[in-house]
Amino acid sequence: MTAATKLGRQTFAALANRNFRRYISGQAVSLIGTWMQTVAQSWLVLELTGSGTAIGVVVALQTLPILLLGPYGGVIADRSDKRRLMIGLQSLMGVQALILGVLTITGTVELWHVYVLALLLGLNQCFENPARQSFMLEMVGPDDLRNAVSLQSTLVSASRIIGPAVAGITIAAGGLGVCFVLNAASFVAVVTSLVRLNVAALHRSEPAERARGQLREGLRYVRGNRKLAVPLLMMAFIGCLAFEFQVVLPIVADQTFGAGSQAYGFMTAAMGVGSVCGGLFVATWGRTGTRVLIAAAAAFGFALVAAAVAPTLALELLALMIVGAVSIAFNSTSNSTLQLEADPQMRGRVMALWSTAFMGSTAIGGPIAGWVSQEWGGRAGLLLGAITCIVVALVARIVIGRGKEVTAQTDPITEDPEEHTVENPAVSEDPTVTEADARSKAA
């Protein structure tokens, strides 16, 4: 076996799983449509209002249900057959996109329509996200989880390149409404892939029995595990103020560089190129753990500083490529390590909290980033995210260090909490994860 062949198998190990291949093929089509809608929706609101704050409000409405109901969505995921739940919810997301497309094409769309449909989409996502995130382990098993999550993140990034480019062409040729209709059609692919999965080959976890207090039980579980709590808090702050690109970048393109929707598409695509490179790196050589997460958060912050001070559009695109690479490293590492740490009966609730921290926090951060960008320019919006990442990395490093000191003082012969074996059998049996990796958590 040549070195190149071995490297390829290592990078794409999860694709040996037939179910994952079917799933990822459906996702490839659907994610392109999703990015088309993301670009078209932001530009539609900008055309209707000319306000960055209004874009932030739409994003906030789309993520508010995740913030308020996301943890309960995890309870539902733990109680349910995740595949069937995803089929129903993905179908409803297609209907939402179709309605928005028809309203836009017929020229009857108003801002309140976008608000209501964004809120309904967010309500759907607060139940679909934890089911989809926790279903990944059931589909590929613990051995290939990190690789599968990284490849999924890479696919999201690749669709970020293709989707906005297709959106730009579609908007120029047929208008904004066609983007929404094509997104609605793309959900047929992902629903079909879920229906065609070989159920017998899934690593299914038994649904949790319905009982009172399961939401509080999940919160207590996370609060009592520092390897879960610290990374989730990191993601909450960084997700709130640093991942607001669909709010900030349209303003950077329009006001900072005096360009139009095409430049916004190029910026989004540049981040996608960087994310693909970062995602493939993580899939091949990436590691899990709190130390890695802290380093990724700091790198994310410094990359955002570079994007904020870039004097020309060309340098801005280069900086955004770096932003894409380090952001995907932070995101995919946090996802896989949380899943490997969580008990199977709690995984849906843990990943619901991850979705709440990552997406739900935008309900707060979206309007803040939009207001900052509107008042002081898009560069200020990028700097807001940069400062958040750097401060969070520093605080997390201090907290983790103090936790080690307390452990050493309590029991001097106890091993470093980052280095001992995980109690979760799914983690300890994963040969691709070192003991240090498995005991670390990322949000």
- Which three-class secondary structure state does DSSP give residue 402? helix
Q: In this model, does residue 256 exceed pLDDT 50?
A: yes
pLDDT at residue number 286: 63
Tokens 């078209």 -> residue: 40
Residues sharing a CB contact under 8 Å with residue 350, sequence separation 6 or more, in sequence order = 74, 134, 218, 221, 222, 228, 338, 339, 341, 342
Give me the half-sphere count of Cα atoms (radius 13 Å) on the Cβ side of residue 83: 21
pLDDT at 5 over 50: yes
Say if residue 145's pLDDT is above 50.
yes
- The first and second tokens of residue 249, run together, are 């970048």
Q: State the Cα–Cα distance between residues 410 and 408, nearest whole angstrom.
A: 5
Residue 417 clears pLDDT 70, i.e. is over it? no
- Angle among Cα 19, 22, 28 to the nearest 5 degrees reads 135
CA angle 145, 148, 150 (to 5 degrees): 110
Is the confidence at residue 205, as pLDDT, over 80?
no
Q: Which of 212, 89, 137 is nearest to 430 (CA)?
A: 137
Q: In this predicted structure, which of 93-97, 278-282, 413-417 has the lowest mean pLDDT?
A: 413-417
Q: Which residue has the higher pLDDT, 335 or 94?
A: 94
Please write the tens of the pLDDT for every residue from 58-74: 877 887 787 788 778 88
Residues 6+ apart with CB under 8 A from 191: 26, 87, 90, 91, 94
Instruction: Report pTM.
Output: 0.69
Tell me, what's the pLDDT at 429? 37
Q: Any residues with CB less than 8 A from the CB of 12 and at least 6 apart, and which?
A: 147, 151, 283
Confidence of residue 404 (pLDDT cuts 50, 70, 90): low
Considering only residues 212 and 410, tell me which one the structure prediction assigns the higher pLDDT: 212
Q: How far apart are CA 42 and CA 6, in angstroms?
A: 42
pLDDT over threshold 60, residue 421: no
Distance, in Å, from the CA atom of 314 to the CA atom of 318, rounded to the nearest integer, reads: 6
Directed axis angle between helix 111-140 and helix 18-49, to 10°?
Answer: 160
Tokens of 341: 């740490």
SS3 186: helix
Range from 114-118, 278-282, 340-344 that averages highest in pLDDT:
114-118
> Where residue 424 falls among pLDDT bands split at 50, 70, 90?
very low
How far is Cα 25 from Cα 70, in angstroms, rounded to an integer?
Answer: 27
Confidence (pLDDT) at 408: 53
- What crossing angle do the helices spanning 18-49 and 176-195 adopt, rounded to 10°? 160
Nearest-angstrom CA–CA distance, 147 and 143? 9
Q: Rounded to an integer, what distance in angstroms lies between the CA atom of residue 441 and that of residue 433?
A: 12
Confidence of residue 409 (pLDDT cuts 50, 70, 90): low
Q: Are 362 and 118 in contact (CB under 8 A)?
A: no
3-state secondary structure of 49: helix
C-beta separation of 164 from 35 below 8 A = yes
Report the C-alpha gap between 321 and 152 in whole angstroms.
18
For range 150-166, the mean pLDDT: 79
Ranking 153-157, 191-195, 219-223, 320-324 by mean pLDDT, the lowest is 153-157
Backbone region of residue 107 per phi and psi (left: phi > 0; alpha: psi in -120 to 50; beta: other values): left
The SS3 call for residue 286 is coil
Task: Return mean pLDDT, the chain.
Answer: 81
How far apart CA 380 and CA 11 sit, in angstroms, is 37
Instruction: Judge whether 381 and 373 are in contact, CB under 8 Å.
Output: yes
Q: At what angle do helices 111-140 and 82-105 cross, to 10 degrees?
A: 150
Dihedrals φ, ψ of 433, to 5°? -115, 125
Query: What one-character-per-residue DSSP string does 177-205 give?
Result: HHHHHHHHHHHHHHHHHHHTS-GGGS-PP
Whole-number pLDDT of residue 351: 82
Task: Assign 159 a pLDDT band (cuts: 50, 70, 90).
Answer: confident
- At residue 280, the pLDDT reads 83
Count of all residues that appear for the chain in the document? 443
Q: For residues 365 and 371, what is the distance between their CA atoms, to the nearest angstrom?
A: 10
- The lowest-confidence range among 14-18, 28-32, 50-54, 331-335 is 50-54
Residue 358 DSSP code = I
CB 345 within 8 A of CB 208: yes
Q: Which two tokens mark 36?
A: 């088309």
Which residue is it, tokens 């500083």? 305
Are 370 and 384 a contacting pair, CB within 8 Å?
A: no
Is it the case that residue 407 has pLDDT exceeding 90? no
pLDDT value of position 1: 57
User: Between these two residues, 292 and 308, which has the higher pLDDT value?
Assistant: 308
pLDDT at 311 over 80: yes
Given pLDDT bands bounded at 50, 70 and 90, which one contains residue 187? very high
Q: Residues near 49 by Cβ (< 8 Å), separated by ≥ 6? A: 111
Query: Rounded distance, CA 248 to CA 386, Å?
Result: 13
